[in-house]
Structure 1
Amino acid sequence: MTDDGLLLAYYGDDFTGSTDAMEAMTAAGVPTLLCLQTPTPELLARFPGVRCVGLAGSSRGRSPQWMDDELPRAFASLAALGAPILQYKVCSTFDSSPQTGSIGRAIDIGVTHMRGAWSPMIVGAPRLKRYQAFGNLFAAVDGAGYRLDRHPTMSRHPVTPMHEADLRVHLGRQTQRRIGLIDFVQSRSGDVRERLDSLLNDDTPVVLIDVLDDETLAAAGKLVWEARGEGVFTASSSGLQYALAAHWRACGLVPPTPGLAAARAVDVIAAVSGSCSPVTAQQIRWARENGFCVERLDLRRALDAQSREEEIERVAGIAAEAVRAGRSPLIFSAEGPDDPDVLAFDDIAANAQLSRAEAARRVGETLADVMRRLLDRTPVRRVVVAGGDSSGEVASRLGIAALSVAAGMAPGAPLCRAWSDDPARDGLEIVLKGGQIGGVSFFGTVRDGAP
């Protein structure tokens, strides 16, 4: 870019989505830093060339009351950085409900921190196989496209199942704010700015922008950038990053996409997974069949206060022994949505005298403790965490202050370099993988390097 200063600041509603957004900006040639704690002038001073700053959060699994308590401070700290666009980065499958991860509540909080007359929303991201048409969200799996309310995973998500693909309707259940749409026909008509002007009033409406392909992606980025005014707040997926980058590239403001470096191979990696996704289940099966040491975490023992420590030590010991034998360990808590422990999770939580949300966080904390002990006992320097909630717990408990992209791995899940004041953690290579991300041999790719 020709001008100095930040172009974008964002808060990620989970850790995997936060690294997805960082990857999109870095690949476009925009130096990006992802902070795991509120960015301070002292931390940012270590990265003088940064043009985009993110803050990894955990709001996707939180209540509206939690958002009321926590998000104002987070948004204020990011707005103070002075970027013209402040983003609440959401998952490209729009995981949310009025009770959990309410995107509507986040928007109502966020718009008060910027002076813009509208709140744009871009969710479609063709690179991630997410598409929005006439306000409806679609996702492709194994080459087949699904409307999100018929998606094999999202329609039956254990926390935020998607029963409505029209994002205007889905979001309308989370906020009283007016919601408009610029559909792909209007986007291609050439009078999109007039359409936007017709939607504006003095109430800062949310305006969804359809994205189907590279043409509509660039048009969406152009509209957001040129109509940013005095600064806008946007709740968007990494489709926003891809859209802005496409527009900046078309204008010559960034060079042709430099892409990302290829990851080198390593002898062993360590992985933990709290994901219930069928995609991750396939990846776990591949790992088991291809020489990884794959071990299930016993949820009943892990959630019971009396046996938790013993279970952590058991699986950490198995993992450490695997590393000493030259094998890559993978500790997992579930193998797909039909896993018996997933189907019985409410009963398992109740027996441990925990709410479902408390139990889910406890699983993440347990996997974090396993990973921390493994790193303390072995020379492993590349790790993987699968699952958005688990990624947040693990990364936040490893003493990492910030992440930057080190290399490409799979779309939406880059290889990151950890920055830490702890020499044992500084320079650690880590991949935070969302449940829907990656090919069947993903864990092998992380070990052997991207092809």
Structure 2
Amino acid sequence: MSESDVDLAYYGDDLTGSTDAMEALALGGVRTALFLDPPSPEELTGRFADLEAVGVAGRSRSMSPAEMDERLPAVFERFAELDPSLVQYKVCSTFDSAPETGSIGHAIDVAQPVFESPFVPVVVGVPALERYVVFGNLFATVGDRTYRLDRHPTMSEHPTTPMTESDLGRHLRDQTDRDIDRFDLLALESGDADAEFAGLLETDPEIVVFDAVDGSHLQTVGRLVWERAAESTEGPVFAVGSSGLDYALTAHWSETDGTSRRDVPSGPDPVDQLLVMSGSASPETANQISNAIADERFDGIRLDTSALVRPDGTESERERVIREAMDALERGQSVVIYSARGPDDPAIEETRTAAPDDVDVGERIGTTQGEILEAVLRESNVDRVCVAGGDTSGYVTPALDVYALEYHRPLAPGSPLCVASSDDERFDGIQVCLKGGQTGGEHFFETVRRGGSDAWP
């Protein structure tokens, strides 16, 4: 790794995706902290003095291009002050984006005036999460079947950013005018990837999409990207990547003693009670909620979201849920508080219909969920929580005055258990799992309560 204190700085386009990157780095032995706001060099002291990677959890996946123009430059300029060798714009391994919402191409356009990267690597494949890129096309596995992304049963029907194109280059061309090329499996497996890559760069592509199907591909990609970043004398290389980029880098660093190789805790670490707050409507999370409620250790509490979005119903509904959660905890139960059970839950449309025109439904529900979680934790002794849903996580963590997260132990790929740093003494050191909607096994909430299993990593 380079001689600078921080070698990698990354901005996550949502909170759960940001913890996914932190996990990939931590499993590779890289000491990483994830901040809610960009840290200054002066803030990377004390408990954060020996960080090798710094993350910032953002919300740009839901931003318009105009919002990106307003918010992202300050983050990128702060990263430039940290002087890392590589800056990563962390995206989901399903490449969620559209020209008007969460545009990855526009994020590149915002970043390049700051970093002037000679090219922008795009590394999306994550074999550990069953995401694969083949000849520039993204595939994802559901159950025992692997789908091209535009045929994926969830992502092709996504309500905000439906993926109608699996070719990542073609998808990006709807979001940026920059020249795009790819480095595919044939080049990776040619026997002389270095020469192939050098030849590609001689054509001056502005963006390069990398294939990846297995760990050997990622290791080669990590080496090719890192060598260019480490050799750069003009500032950081700016890259776009899922956690596949982080796995790629750590695979390369592990072969070159490029990290301090910190040990990662393993084995179960159970607690008596877990508090779950779910704002996800994914089928996977719905199944996890059903299994948790069927478990005698968990009580389920449904949020009446139609009441939450009405001016005269928010406070009474919030108080009801807090009261029921406290009653369950006092009986020794774990608790799952949820806003929906699957994408076809009638409550979703009922809530949209009930909401006044001037109410942002997602913001109202997410903010109230944060208030409920804060109140229940303050009145109880629970010290481990799980939040399901990327947007929900973005609303809940500020309610706990959390300013940074550090990796604690593995639970399931992409959803680690973290330790929070908070300005509030009650929440400083609390254990938090921020779970993306589609991650984790069918009994994931019990896995969180148990503190993991020996099956992962």
Same fold (TM over 0.5): yes
Q: Please tell me the residue identity of whatever aligns with 1:169.
A: R
Match of residue 266 from structure 2: 261
The alpha-carbon distance between structure 1 residues 202 and 145, as it changes in their structure 2 partners (threshold 3 A), is closer
1:75 Cα deviation (Å)?
1.0
* Alignment partner of 1:142 is 2:146: no
The alpha-carbon distance between structure 1 residues 342 and 163, as it changes in their structure 2 partners (threshold 3 A), is farther
Decide which of 271, 276, 288 is 2:276's aligned counterpart: 271
What is the percentage of aligned positions where both structures have the same residue? 45
Match of residue 210 from structure 2: 209
1:155 Cα deviation (Å)?
1.0
Match of residue 313 from structure 1: 319
Match of residue 62 from structure 2: 61
The alpha-carbon distance between structure 1 residues 341 and 170, as it changes in their structure 2 partners (threshold 3 A), is farther
1:431 Cα deviation (Å)?
0.4
Q: How does 1:29-428 map to 2 (within 5 A)?
A: 29-46=29-46, 47-200=48-201, 205-228=206-229, 229-230=232-233, 231-254=236-259, 258-291=263-296, 292-344=298-350, 346-348=352-354, 351-354=355-358, 358-428=360-430
1:401 alignment partner, SS class: strand
* CA distance, structure 2, for counterparts of residue 105 and residue 260 of structure 1: 38
1:417 alignment partner, SS class: strand
1:65 alignment partner, SS class: helix
Q: Please tell me the residue identity of whatever aligns with 1:312.
A: R
Match of residue 5 from structure 1: 5
1:217 Cα deviation (Å)?
0.8
Q: Please tell me the residue identity of whatever aligns with 2:334.
A: S
2:82 alignment partner, SS class: coil
* CA distance, structure 1, for counterparts of residue 349 and residue 133 of structure 2: 31
CA contact under 8 A between 1:182 and 1:192: conserved in structure 2? no
The count of aligned residue pairs is: 447
Q: Please tell me the residue identity of whatever aligns with 2:144.
A: G
Q: Deviations over 1:237-283 (max 9, x none)?
A: 11110000111112233477844433510010111111111111110
* CA distance, structure 1, for counterparts of residue 165 and residue 332 of structure 2: 47
1:406 Cα deviation (Å)?
1.2
Q: Structure 2: where are the runs of 5+ without partners? A: none
Match of residue 438 from structure 1: 440
The alpha-carbon distance between structure 1 residues 417 and 256, as it changes in their structure 2 partners (threshold 3 A), is closer
* CA distance, structure 2, for counterparts of residue 36 and residue 263 of structure 1: 28
Match of residue 16 from structure 1: 16
CA contact under 8 A between 2:31 and 2:262: conserved in structure 1? no
1:113 Cα deviation (Å)?
2.1
Worse-matched range after superposition: 201-210 or 19-28: 201-210
- What's the TM-score, normalizing by structure 2? 0.94
1:178 Cα deviation (Å)?
1.1
The alpha-carbon distance between structure 1 residues 399 and 362, as it changes in their structure 2 partners (threshold 3 A), is same
Worse-matched range after superposition: 202-211 or 437-446: 202-211
2:288 alignment partner, SS class: helix
Q: Please tell me the residue identity of whatever aligns with 2:10.
A: Y
Q: Please tell me the residue identity of whatever aligns with 2:381.
A: P
CA contact under 8 A between 1:113 and 1:233: conserved in structure 2? no
Q: Deviations over 1:162-196 (max 9, x none)?
A: 11111111111111111110011111113434443
- What's the TM-score, normalizing by structure 1? 0.95
* CA distance, structure 2, for counterparts of residue 144 and residue 137 of structure 1: 14
Worse-matched range after superposition: 194-203 or 129-138: 194-203
What value does the CA root-mean-square deviation take over the aligned residues? 1.8
CA contact under 8 A between 1:116 and 1:204: conserved in structure 2? no
CA contact under 8 A between 2:264 and 2:409: conserved in structure 1? no
Q: Deviations over 1:41-80 (max 9, x none)?
A: 4431121111000011111111111100000001111121
Match of residue 27 from structure 1: 27
Q: Structure 1: where are the runs of 5+ without partners? A: none
